[in-house]
Structure 1
Amino acid sequence: MIHFGTGGWRAVIADEFTKANIRLLIAGLCSLMHKEGHDGAEICVGYDRRFLSKESAHWAAEVMAGYGFRPYVINRSSPTPLMMFMVKTRAMPYGIAVTASHNPAIYNGIKVFTAGGRDADRTVTDKIEAEIAQINPDTIKSMDYDAAVAAGVITEHNPTNEYIDSILSAIDVEAIKNAQLRIALDPMYGVSQTSLSMILMTCRCDLEIIHDRRDTLFGGKLPAPNEDTLGPLAAVVMDRWRCDLGIATDGDADRLGVIDDQGQFVHPNKLLVLLYYYLVKYRGWQGPCVRNNSTTVLLDRVAAGLGQNCYEVPVGFKWMSAKMTETDAIIGGESSGGLAVRGHISGKDGIYAAALLVEMLAVTGKKLSALYREIEAQYGALRYAEASFTMTPARKPALQQYLFEQHACPEFENVDHISREDGCKVYFTDGSWVICRFSGTEPLLRMAAEAETDEKAQSYIQTWKAFLSL
């Protein structure tokens, strides 16, 4: 069964991620595009470095060609933001990326993008699922890949330079050159290495790169840049190089992870606050910001202090992109490391975010830790806690019903209000909060909390754990 989550369709390879299901999904997309009047349109097709990604992209292109569309195939593994960039710049109605982003190596998937290079929202994915339900797999049309290339129906391209140039035009290259920064990069065996290293070398940064080859098992680790996975990058930063910054991106390069000059992991909450503060305070930009419901409310404080608004949306970057467009927000971000910036693409881009962070160090002449202390001195400090719990297929339905249909919730004190828009989020009268929700991309139950002390934030998590006997 094909069902889109918060980050597209993802499934275990050879279980539900199969050639038959890929063809079925693309046939459903083609049917929707036909109904929307996009017959014969150019459609971007890209892929990451995962097992079967290239082959899957070709299977998808074959079906598109069979239905009369013109697949614009990126002919090498590339960052997901690059596909979104091409959908936007070439005014395509749709595009796809074969990727499972930061999921474990046994997964693969497909992300769908709409006009403007946006993540397909629930309205679109519901329509695709409805079209899929009407399709007979035995009648799906297709055209042999090589034959379609020979006939000019499928075209192959390498638009990497266009994407790189767009980012270079959006950052202060001269300031970065003058700063002579040392940067350590960890693509986590994913697709950011070419674009990000070219951008930073153009800015005359000294680079040390690890984990840059293709490894479909991602070194036996999760291709997600977090505190648990970035030990090797921290070691490089603190080695004889003594780097100014360590940068990591997830498997498809839409998420960012950072190690500061002291070898410490910088939580994505802090990166989001830092970049918004920098863009308003140092670049002079004006506008609100957007965060999801699992992300720090320190961003709200900073926005208010700068005379701006901060908007909260459910988890899933499709909601983030829509709210950013609606409010003309400067930046939108999430606690998992994804963020988008106005004027680039309408989705998260770890490569562009990394380039902006490097610019921030160069322009301010300050270390990340010093900049964050500057923010906390003005707006106060908050402490964040999070936890994840694996959910078996046998247990999830009952727990889901208990939490979100029976509206079960611990009896917290000093509750201001409770939201069930996306999971169960409890807001407290002192501004602290805790959320419990199911992941839309992995079989996990996630919890996050924020308060003025570590102990208080952790107590909220522990209360939920005890309540659910986890």
Structure 2
Amino acid sequence: MDRIKFGTDGWRAVIAKDYTIDAVAKVAYATALWLTRKFKNPAAVIGYDCRFGGEMFMEAVAKILASKGIRVYIPEQFVTTPMVSLAVKKLKANCGIMISACNGPVNFNGYKLKGDHGGPMFEKDVKDIENLISEENEIDLELLNWNYMLEQGLIQYINLETIYMKEVRDNLSPEKFKASGLRIAFDAMFGSGQNLIKKLFPDEVSMHCVVNPSFHGVPPDPVRKNLNELSEWITHTRDIALGIALDGDADCVTLFDEKGNLIDANMILLLLIHYLAGYRQEEGKVVAGFSSTGKVRKICDHYAVPLIQSKIGFKEISRIMTEETVLVAGEESGGIALGDHLPERDGFWAGLMVALAIVDTGKSLKQLLKEVYSITGPFAFERVDLELNRIIRTRVIENCRNEVYQNFGSFKVIRTESLDGCKFYFSENQWLLIRPSGTEPLIRLYAEAETSDITLAIIEAARKTLVGEA
């Protein structure tokens, strides 16, 4: 087994291959050492989603932390990642741990770390924990008695869902949407957000709201190819105002308009800037990941809203949100955070904020999108993952750093940016970003242009250039 390393969104591995009780115990022990060295009388919140073995892995982590004198709060059933982050903040815990591989393949699980600020743990702290992971297991789980730890109060059950739903009701006025008569269609993708819509809008259309660790063989990733059923339902039903699809742990979101058209995270970010800065006249900065649409700058300039570009991964965005007054933050992979909520991605919260925009403005989602396009101009965005061997991946990244690529097919490079990966501009409205994945052995290609045809042509030209190196 390779050394355990954390990527942009935690540590992920294949269940029963590298993701085992033994491996999770090593990471948990390192987390416990870090907590006891950094804090006096530390406390942690641990959750899990609907992936295979989630509760078992959570209990192993809880026992190890409790054995080191750490107060541990756990849920009685699966929860979302935002529930864990919110509970860390509300309970004044020092750390959150979420057993989840987010939107990853169905045979994966993961281990996500949350800081005491209520968002992804900062990079330095993650590295400190990573460096404490031993090659040998330091503790025998069989010697740790679960019932004894419960009796002693070292491990306590707490209803994280109740804490979260109170926050939703207190801040997002769900009764406004109910009173409007508008309808929502919801796809939980068999993930841990499945109870949210049932509790808040029990009469609304919902699908894949049961526990199925195989996810019917479809990764709980809310991208177009995985959401045809939701799109078709909205198209044929004709009375749906908004479709909401969440990933496996409900921190990422994709929306659909009343015609069944997909609204990705780039458009959701633009919509929320338009609603919050335009209609509600709220103030604050916008934070956007380096791979996000370039149209964020255009709409921020339109509303005189300061824009901060960040490295990819919500750890960096979260850090900025703790230091600045932020209106909204987002990244193209589906993560959206509202500044008055948490420095954390929250797919359900973002979806309900768009629902509130529809009610408050009295306009359909399609009409609001038309207003956004009138400010930004039309654009198309695509992301493609390339599976290349390690040697080729390394060569591609070195070539990017050394400015080897001067063109991709007929697209000639006029300038580059290298905040995170390498972004090649062919014009002010056409660009390509090449970077290695922070969670999987892949090279990611991101492209944007005025039309879908041009965007796909950029992707294909880049693919031919890079694959040709093999």
Same fold (TM over 0.5): yes
1:14 to 13, 16, 21: 16
Tell me, in whole angstroms, the C-alpha distance in 2 between the residues paired with 1:155 and 1:130.
29
Tell me, in whole angstroms, the C-alpha distance in 1 between the residues paired with 2:147 and 2:236.
49
1:35 to 34, 37, 62: 37
- The one-letter amino acid of 2:445's match is M
Contact 2:298 2:375 in 1 (8 A): no
2:449 to 448, 451, 455: 451
Contact 2:335 2:347 in 1 (8 A): yes
Q: Does 1:313 align with 2:310?
A: yes
1:463 to 437, 461, 464: 461
- Alpha-carbon shift at residue 17 of structure 1 (Å): 0.6
Alignment of 1:66-465 (within 5 A): 66-133=67-134, 136-139=136-139, 143-201=144-202, 206-240=203-237, 242-392=239-389, 394-395=390-391, 398-399=394-395, 402-403=398-399, 408-411=404-407, 415-465=413-463
Tell me, in whole angstroms, the C-alpha distance in 1 between the residues paired with 2:427 and 2:322.
31
Tell me, in whole angstroms, the C-alpha distance in 1 between the residues paired with 2:459 and 2:40.
51
Tell me, in whole angstroms, the C-alpha distance in 2 between the residues paired with 1:159 and 1:319.
25
- Alpha-carbon shift at residue 160 of structure 1 (Å): 1.2
TM-score (norm 2): 0.93
Segments of 5+ residues of structure 2 without an aligned counterpart are: none
Amino-acid identity (%): 28
Tell me, in whole angstroms, the C-alpha distance in 2 between the residues paired with 1:46 and 1:389.
32
Task: Tell me the SS of whatever aligns to 2:8.
Answer: coil
- The one-letter amino acid of 1:199's match is L
Q: Does 1:4 align with 2:6?
A: yes
Tell me, in whole angstroms, the C-alpha distance in 1 between the residues paired with 2:269 and 2:308.
14
Contact 1:23 1:140 in 2 (8 A): no
Contact 1:182 1:241 in 2 (8 A): no
Tell me, in whole angstroms, the C-alpha distance in 1 between the residues paired with 2:452 and 2:218.
28
Tell me, in whole angstroms, the C-alpha distance in 2 between the residues paired with 1:257 and 1:82.
19
TM-score (norm 1): 0.93
- The one-letter amino acid of 1:82's match is M
Contact 2:222 2:253 in 1 (8 A): yes
Over 3 Å counting, the alpha-carbon distance change for 1:408 and 1:55 in structure 2 is farther
Task: Tell me the SS of whatever aligns to 1:252.
Answer: coil
What RMSD, in angstroms, separates the aligned Cα atoms of the two structures? 2.0
- The one-letter amino acid of 2:443's match is L
Over 3 Å counting, the alpha-carbon distance change for 1:457 and 1:361 in structure 2 is same
- The one-letter amino acid of 1:146's match is N
Tell me, in whole angstroms, the C-alpha distance in 2 between the residues paired with 1:158 and 1:221.
29
Q: How many residues align?
A: 463
- The one-letter amino acid of 2:80's match is P
Over 3 Å counting, the alpha-carbon distance change for 1:239 and 1:463 in structure 2 is closer
Task: Tell me the SS of whatever aligns to 2:132.
Answer: helix
- The one-letter amino acid of 2:84's match is M
Over 3 Å counting, the alpha-carbon distance change for 1:57 and 1:374 in structure 2 is same
Tell me, in whole angstroms, the C-alpha distance in 2 between the residues paired with 1:85 and 1:40.
20
- Alpha-carbon shift at residue 210 of structure 1 (Å): 0.8
Over 3 Å counting, the alpha-carbon distance change for 1:5 and 1:310 in structure 2 is same
- Alpha-carbon shift at residue 195 of structure 1 (Å): 2.0
- Alpha-carbon shift at residue 286 of structure 1 (Å): 0.8
Tell me, in whole angstroms, the C-alpha distance in 2 between the residues paired with 1:404 and 1:21.
35
Task: Tell me the SS of whatever aligns to 1:330.
Answer: strand
- Alpha-carbon shift at residue 348 of structure 1 (Å): 0.2
Task: Tell me the SS of whatever aligns to 2:301.
Answer: helix
Which deviations, in whole Å up to 9, do the C-alpha atoms of 1:371-425 show, x marking residues without a partner?
1111211332222122122234x55554455445655434366645323332221
Pick which of 442-451 and 409-418 moved more: 409-418
Tell me, in whole angstroms, the C-alpha distance in 1 between the residues paired with 2:447 and 2:425.
10
Contact 2:117 2:322 in 1 (8 A): no
Alignment of 1:56-75 (within 5 A): 56-75=57-76
- The one-letter amino acid of 1:437's match is R
Segments of 5+ residues of structure 1 without an aligned counterpart are: none
- The one-letter amino acid of 1:234's match is S
Tell me, in whole angstroms, the C-alpha distance in 2 between the residues paired with 1:389 and 1:15.
23
- The one-letter amino acid of 1:348's match is R
Task: Tell me the SS of whatever aligns to 2:186.
Answer: strand
Contact 1:324 1:330 in 2 (8 A): no
Pick which of 305-314 and 104-113 moved more: 305-314
Task: Tell me the SS of whatever aligns to 2:96.
Answer: strand
Contact 2:238 2:258 in 1 (8 A): no
Tell me, in whole angstroms, the C-alpha distance in 1 between the residues paired with 2:332 and 2:187.
20
Contact 1:13 1:108 in 2 (8 A): yes
Tell me, in whole angstroms, the C-alpha distance in 1 between the residues paired with 2:178 and 2:156.
37
- The one-letter amino acid of 1:285's match is E
Over 3 Å counting, the alpha-carbon distance change for 1:162 and 1:138 in structure 2 is closer
Structure 1 ranges of 4+ moved more than 6 A: none
Tell me, in whole angstroms, the C-alpha distance in 2 between the residues paired with 1:87 and 1:416.
46
